[in-house]
Structure formats: C-alpha cells, structure tokens
Amino acid sequence: MITTTAIESTAELTEQERAQAARLEAVWREPTGFWGWFKAVHHTTIGKRYAVTAFGFFLLAGLLAGGMRLQLAFPEAHILSNDLYNQFFTMHGSTMMFLFAVPMMFEAMSVYLVPLMVGTRNIAFPRLNAYSYYLYLFGGLMFYVAFACNTGADRGWFSYVPLAGPDYGPGKRPDFWAQLITFTEVSGLAVAVETIVTVFKLRAPGMSLNRIPIFVWGQVVVAFMVIFSLPGVVLSSTMLLMDRTCNTQFFNPAAGGDVLLYQHLFWWFGHPEVYIIFIPGAAIISTIVTSFSRRHVFGYLVLVLSLVATGFMAFGLWVHHMFATGIPQIAESYFTAASMVIAIPTGAQVFCWIATIATGKVVLKTPMWWAIGFFFVFIMGGMTGMFVASVPVDLQVHDTYFVVAHFHYVLIGGAVFPLFGAITYWFPKVTGRMLNETLGQLTFWLFFIGFNITFFPMHLVGIRGMPRRVYTYQPNMGWTTLNQVESLGYVLLFLAVCVLLVNVSRSLRSGAIAGPNPWNAGTLEWATSSPPPQYNFLHLPTVNGREALWDAAPNQPIVAGLPDDARSFLITRTLDAEPEGRDEFPGPTIWPFLAAVATSIAFIGSIFTPWGITIGAIPVAITMIGWFWPERQPAQRRRAREIWQSE
C-alpha cells in the first residue's frame, strides 16, 4: 500500500533512513568495470553522457567555424579549397543542428533533469534511453569518421535535391549525411517518448498539471514537436538515400518526381526544429529568472500557454524558408501572417520575464548574466525575424548573410546563452561542485562581446549583397573589412569557450562543495544531494505548489510504502498526479548497447547497398529478442503486486 506520510524534517538521517538508503543503494547501483559502462541505464548517467558528447560536437563544429572565418577573412583566399570549405560549412551546420542543438537542449537536458524535476527515480523506458544514446553517439562518430576520410557531407545542412541527388552528388557524401539524420532522429524520437511518459505518468504526487515546472513544460512541448516533425525529415532523407542507392525517382523531374517535394518535407521538420531548439532555451530562462529574481515566475499560465502555442504555430510556417521558390500569393500571405504572429507568444514570454525581474530581488550571479545576455541577443534575433517573415523583404535577404546573422542571433541567443546559463546553474547539481564565479563572468563577457562582433556585421554585409554559403568573394565587393571584423570576433568566442573549459576542469577538481541547494531554488532536483544518488531521492517527494521547495508545507508528506528491494516507482494520474499504481524499472543490461551496434551496422551498410537494411535487420532482431527476453523474478513480482487504486 502506498501512502504519503508526514515526516519530521531533520538534517541528520535516522538509523532507519540509513538502512533504507543502503538498501536502495544496493538495488540501484550501476554496474562497474569495463562492461559495466555499456550496461548503465540510469538517466543521470546517460544524461551526462549525452551532455558531454553533445558538447564535444559543439566544440568540433566551433572549430570548423573557425576554419570558415579564416577563409572568409580575405577575399579570394585559398586557405581552404572550395571543396573543403563546402564540407566545412555543411559539417558545421549539420553538427550544430543534429549533433549539438537538439541532443543538448532536448535530449541531454530532458534525460538528466526531467525525472529529477518531477521527483521520480529514473526516466521511463531506461533501456530505450541507453539505446537512443548509443545510436546518437554512433551516428555522430560515423559522420566524423567519414569527414576524416574526405567523405564529409558537402551539400549544405539541408542537402537540397538535385544538388545532393544522384546526378550531382557523386560519391557517398550525401549518403552519410542522410544516414546521420536517421541516427539522430531515431534517438530523438526515443527520448521524446520517454519524456512524455515520464512527465505524464511519473510525476510526484501533488504535481498536478498546473504545478509542473516550466522547464518540464518546455521539454514536453518539445517532445511532442519532435514526434510530429521528425518523421518529415526522416522521410525526406530516406527518399534521398533511396534515390541515390536504389535508383527511385522521388526527386527526378523528368520522371514525374519533384524537387520542391523535398523542400516541403525538409522544412516541415526544419522550421519546428528551430523551436525545438529555442523552447528548451526559453524554459531554461524561465527557470533561471525565477531562481535569481527570488520569486515565483510572473504569469505561469501565460508562459506555459505561450510554449504550447509556439509549439503549435511552429508547424504553420515552414514555407517561409521557401518564399523565393515562387509560391502563390495567397499562400505567401498566409505564411507571412503565421510567421509574424508567432512573435506574439514569444513577446508574451519576454514581458513575463521582465515583469518577474521588475517585481523580484535580482541576484546577479553568472546564470543570471547569461539570462540577461539572452535578452539582448535573442530579442535582436526575433526582431530580424520580422524581416524574414515578410515575403517581400525575405526575397531580398533570403540566403544572404543577413539570414546567417538572424539565425545565429536566434539560435545562439535562444539556445547557447541559456545553455551556458544552464551549465553554470546545474553544474553544482550534476557534479556537487560550484563553478568559479569570476571565470564564469569572464566567459560571459568574452562570449557576449565576441558574439556581437562576429555576428552583428553579418547583417550589414548581407544587406550589402553577400550571399550565404560562398567559399570566397571578390575584393571589389566591399565586404572585406566587415568579414575581417567578424573573423576577429571569432577569436573572442574561442577564448570564451576556452575559459569555460578551464573553469569546468578546475571546478571538477577543486571547486567549492555545493551542497544540495546552492541557489536556494525551488524545483525538486534541488531536494536531493548533489550529485544525486543513483536512486535520486531517498524519500520520494510530494508537491504542494509550483516551486516545490519554496511552497513546501512545514510537514510536507513523502511517499512511503514503495518496496525498496526492487527498482520500484510510483505511477500517478496525468491531470492531478494522484497516485495510481506502481511498477518497476528494468535494470542495467548490455542489450541496448548491442542493439545499437546492430542498428548502426544496418544503417551504415545501407549507405553502400540497399541490402544493408534487409540483411542488417537480422542482427537487430536478434539483439532485440535478447533485450526483451522475459526475466523470471521481475515477472513474478509483477504478478504478485497489488495495484494501488486511489479512491
């Protein structure tokens, strides 16, 4: 029987609690040793791996950007050949979008933080979670091994046909790009399913829908967007791959195919993608602004509804990436309207944040600096967004450096600034140690100034007529000085990231011990020790308000009665989060890793022969059988288990 009992809050653990902690420790311990690494399924372990891997890809893509800035610093330069430059910008874009932004902002954040924030012991479907991580890792490795072998994708992160098609894309470069999409999208879809189930069924008792932290709301909205948008790009990249290797005619105009079909499918995903990256950023800003303004966020309902509205509207404006293809005027009007109207929910969020600041007590620690930087940068990106939303203006600025500036302001402003804020904010939770405040602010100022020096001139050079994706330009175009300024700004960005890395590595070794709640923040992840134990919470918490810790009653009850001899968890109802039943998480196992290896072999094999998928399905099936082979003990426990029904 699961009940919630009030406890006396004491700092010291009682004898009984210590015994319970030991039992939980024994049940939840992650396997150790070399093979243990491949068996781990706990969400904090996988979440950390996601974050470190995604950050690694961020650094790689950043270095590629440095190569591009070097090449563009001089007109008609030959530092990179045109062939290499095309690979650089394609790798940069694809990495940032598919291997950094989505895995970092959605997958890493969601996997690590959402179960903690909703007060449960693991993410739903933990083995699927491990599988999704390995697929993501292998996809990224494949992409970069191919790049090292001179097979880096070179047709742009969008790989439009026919340029990436069989007739104009010789070799295997676009095929590797297409399969990178498959890898990352399978892993993204898996995490989306886990997130939705975790949030809707695994919340702590009392965390009804209107008390879910905004960060978690953001991740749920993104999870739904992932489920609805990613099939579009999986479809288009698979059709591209089939055109290239199976000689289908999807995109062959002479045989009744259509090159525009590709663009529609791609942007059906590609536009929501921008919001998939930005919504977690907005959710982080809500969290940081709340914690550092020392008050409940202003306009909770407005913020949540804005996130949901943005999620819906994001699907109604994909065509604004295709205005220049010449679409009917009525469609232009619709998509212009949709693209401009989406500014309204974003505006609502900005006003709510400012209202929170205006009525709170602002503590200017590093995460708050990043939030303030976010306002300066992201709002600028939103403003230039109005230019590209308007069809006539877009016809002038589309595919120029103006757009490059615009989306770097939106994506770096909307994702990287919040992310760096999030790193400083949650680093103590993940590692148990604080980051250095001085170095943190130094990173911020270097990054903020470097960012603006790099990207602001791009607006100007774009208006002066410089198109995107050019490997060089001519000296008499009047673009040289601005490009050189941009390249200098890159140096500051580079230094900023170096300082961040120094800060992280110093803090890992000798940072100040953080304690459970260094920011005195209100959400549930701060209720447990830093770093959290493998079982997350000694006592599963209950919730009494939007900021669980701030609103906790003096004798806030805890969940009692879950057996601690198995990986049990509490299932609650979707709307009011009343306890509904309990179930068990599966334990660590090697099978997800093996299944991911088998799946990767099938995916990579299909680059070279269409039979790759057919034959590759056999090992995938074998590993999946191993994965789902029933185990006796949990099955017996499950049969014997009483299902607790609320009244």
Question: Of 591-610, which residues contact other proteins (CB under 8 A)?
Answer: 608-609
User: Which residue of 209, 393, 562, 617 would you call a contact of other proteins, by CB under 8 A?
Assistant: 393
9 lies in the binding site for other proteins (CB under 8 A): no
CA–CA dist 453, 482 (Å, integer): 10
Q: Which is nearer to other proteins, 310 or 390 (CB)?
A: 390
CA–CA dist 229, 393 (Å, integer): 27
CA–CA dist 614, 601 (Å, integer): 11
**For residues 44 and 528, is the Cβ–Cβ distance under 8 A?**
no
CA–CA dist 34, 15 (Å, integer): 35
- Which of these, 142, 101, 117, 110, lies nearest to 46 by C-alpha position? 110
Q: Which is nearer to other proteins, 127 or 398 (CB)?
A: 398
Site for other proteins in 282-301 (CB under 8 A): 291, 293-296, 298-299
**Maximum Cα interatomic distance, the chain, rounded to a whole number of Å:** 81
Stretch that binds other proteins, among 8-16, 118-126, 503-511, 517-525 (CB under 8 A): 517-525
CB of 358 to other proteins, least distance (A): 4
Neighbours of 584 (CB within 10 A): 16
- Provide the b/e sequence for 408-429 (b: ≥16 CB within 10 Å): bbbbbbbbbbbbbbbbbbbbbb
Contact code string over 131-160 relative to other proteins, x by CB under 8 A: --------------xx-xxxx---xx---x
Q: Which is nearer to other proteins, 463 or 495 (CB)?
A: 463
Q: Which is nearer to other proteins, 83 or 565 (CB)?
A: 83
User: Which residue of 17, 30, 258, 576 would you call a contact of other proteins, by CB under 8 A?
Assistant: 258
CA–CA dist 129, 604 (Å, integer): 21
Helix axes 82-94, 173-201, angle to 10 degrees: 10
73 lies in the binding site for other proteins (CB under 8 A): no
Site for other proteins in 355-374 (CB under 8 A): 355, 357-364, 372
CA–CA dist 339, 335 (Å, integer): 6
DSSP 3-state of 423: helix
**For residues 582 and 560, is the Cβ–Cβ distance under 8 A?**
no
Stretch that binds other proteins, among 253-261, 273-281, 523-531, 559-567 (CB under 8 A): 253-261
CB of 14 to other proteins, least distance (A): 27
Q: How many CA atoms lie within 13 A of 291 on its CB side?
A: 31
Site for other proteins in 162-201 (CB under 8 A): 162-163, 165-168, 170-173
Q: Match 């920011």 to its residue by tokens.
A: 519
User: Which residue of 58, 444, 473, 535 would you call a contact of other proteins, by CB under 8 A?
Assistant: 473
User: Which residue of 17, 25, 30, 399 would you call a contact of other proteins, by CB under 8 A?
Assistant: 399
Q: Which is nearer to other proteins, 156 or 532 (CB)?
A: 156
CB of 385 to other proteins, least distance (A): 9
593's CB contacts (< 8 A; 6+ apart) are 38, 39, 130, 131, 134
CB of 188 to other proteins, least distance (A): 25
CA–CA dist 270, 264 (Å, integer): 9
639 lies in the binding site for other proteins (CB under 8 A): no
Q: How many CA atoms lie within 13 A of 407 on its CB side?
A: 20
Q: Which is nearer to other proteins, 299 or 532 (CB)?
A: 299
Stretch that binds other proteins, among 34-42, 121-129, 518-526, 562-570 (CB under 8 A): 518-526
13 lies in the binding site for other proteins (CB under 8 A): no
Q: Which is nearer to other proteins, 516 or 561 (CB)?
A: 516
Binding residues for other proteins, rule CB under 8 A, total 115
**For residues 369 and 422, is the Cβ–Cβ distance under 8 A?**
no
For residue 433, give the DSSP letter: B
User: Which residue of 13, 26, 63, 478 would you call a contact of other proteins, by CB under 8 A?
Assistant: 478
Q: Which is nearer to other proteins, 235 or 261 (CB)?
A: 261
First-to-final CA distance of the chain: 13
480 lies in the binding site for other proteins (CB under 8 A): no
**For residues 635 and 583, is the Cβ–Cβ distance under 8 A?**
no
502 lies in the binding site for other proteins (CB under 8 A): no
Site for other proteins in 213-252 (CB under 8 A): 243-245, 247, 249, 252
DSSP 3-state of 464: coil
Site for other proteins in 317-346 (CB under 8 A): 324-326, 329, 332-333, 336-337, 340-341, 343-344
CA–CA dist 66, 467 (Å, integer): 19
Q: Which is nearer to other proteins, 70 or 560 (CB)?
A: 70
CB of 257 to other proteins, least distance (A): 8
DSSP 3-state of 248: coil
User: Which residue of 390, 503, 568, 599 would you call a contact of other proteins, by CB under 8 A?
Assistant: 390
CA–CA dist 163, 183 (Å, integer): 22
User: Which residue of 7, 235, 308, 348 would you call a contact of other proteins, by CB under 8 A?
Assistant: 348
Task: Write out the H or E segment, with its range, that includes residue 559.
Answer: strand 557-560
Q: Which is nearer to other proteins, 571 or 604 (CB)?
A: 604
**For residues 140 and 179, is the Cβ–Cβ distance under 8 A?**
no
**For residues 218 and 129, is the Cβ–Cβ distance under 8 A?**
no
Neighbours of 632 (CB within 10 A): 7
Q: Match 């992201």 to its residue by tokens.
A: 378
Site for other proteins in 417-456 (CB under 8 A): none
For residue 254, give the DSSP letter: G
Site for other proteins in 543-562 (CB under 8 A): 547, 550
CB of 536 to other proteins, least distance (A): 23
User: Which residue of 7, 21, 79, 259 would you call a contact of other proteins, by CB under 8 A?
Assistant: 259
Question: Phi and psi (nearest 5°) for 580?
Answer: -125, -25
In the beta sheet, which residues pair with residue 540? 559
CB of 272 to other proteins, least distance (A): 21
CB of 171 to other proteins, least distance (A): 4
477 lies in the binding site for other proteins (CB under 8 A): yes
CB of 611 to other proteins, least distance (A): 11
74 lies in the binding site for other proteins (CB under 8 A): no
23 lies in the binding site for other proteins (CB under 8 A): no
Q: Which is nearer to other proteins, 211 or 244 (CB)?
A: 244
In the beta sheet, which residues pair with residue 581? 571
Stretch that binds other proteins, among 392-400, 406-414, 440-448, 570-578 (CB under 8 A): 392-400
